[in-house]
Amino acid sequence: MISTIPQLGLGTWKLHGEQLISSLRSAFSLGYRHLDTAWIYHNEKEIGSLLSQSSIPRSELRITTKVRFDGLLTHQKAPFKLSDFSYSQLETRFHQTLQDLKTEYLDLVLLHRPSTPDNDAQAFETLLRLKKTGKIRQVGVSNFSFPQLELLYFRFGSEIFTNQIEWHVCLSSPELETFAKEKKLILTAYSPLAQGHLLSYAPFLALAEECQLPPAQLALAYLLTKGSIVIPKASSQERLQENFEAQKLVLAPKIIARLDQLPKHHRYCNPSFAPLNELL
């Protein structure tokens, strides 16, 4: 548990319909209490429907969602316009999210992606205003590079609870990690299995075999040891349980050191509009 957010959560990107419902039910039965979603995932209404029928008290759950700039950009859309990255719809979308998730408040709300410094600051101020009303417990960001996070931090300081980033055994940002540690910010790791690529990466698999651990457990335990919040996605009961039990592992320092030595430049979530260097 980090502050009030469980260190291991369940990611729900691309989960819909029966697969989503089955995954959530299995996760709850295993003890998961932290869910991660986003406006752009288009599954908040389905999640809300299940939560409204769950016997788990809302006070025991921690729900993270992410709000997004106005433009619905794809990896292919170009050229970009500054107006695409305004947050004029943020508050409207936030209240729709509350309605869809059938909850009176959210535990953690993030800006899903950076846009421009002025837009990000204005959007963050909106989140802080909503936080003061009690509709949000914590606020943060997602996919912010070190310069972007540093700039926002100098304006808002410790109001930034976390930066959710792609982070796994084969991808890290030493600058971000050092900055977060110095400022007592939490990093949240999405795609902690590198979108499945780790499960076919021979050097990592060899180390997992040496440790006599399932590869996914080793990958998650590594990030948990770093003090991050980790939100793997899983749909099968077996994989959900395997991931959940990663919390029990204590890795030897020599194993952590060897994992640290693996290449750290393999990024798998890199849309062309992030970061928006051509607009900054």
Put simply, whether the predicted model's pTM sits higher than 0.85 gets the answer yes
* Domains parsed from the chain with CATH numbers: 10-279 (3.20.20.100)
- Tell me: pLDDT of 275 over 70: no
Give how far Cα 65 sits from Cα of 78, 105, 112, 128, 207, Å. Answer: 27, 11, 9, 15, 34
pLDDT at residue 276 greater than cutoff 50? no
Q: Counting every residue, how long is the chain?
A: 280
- Whether residue 277 has pLDDT greater than 50: no
Q: What is the dihedral of CA 257, 261, 262, 263, to 10 degrees?
A: 150
**CA angle centred on 111, ends 106 and 116, rounded to 5°:** 160
Give dist(CA 221, CA 111) in Å, integer: 27
Which H or E run includes 186?
strand 186-190
Q: How high is the pLDDT of residue 18?
A: 96
For the annotated catalytic residues, the residue numbers are 41
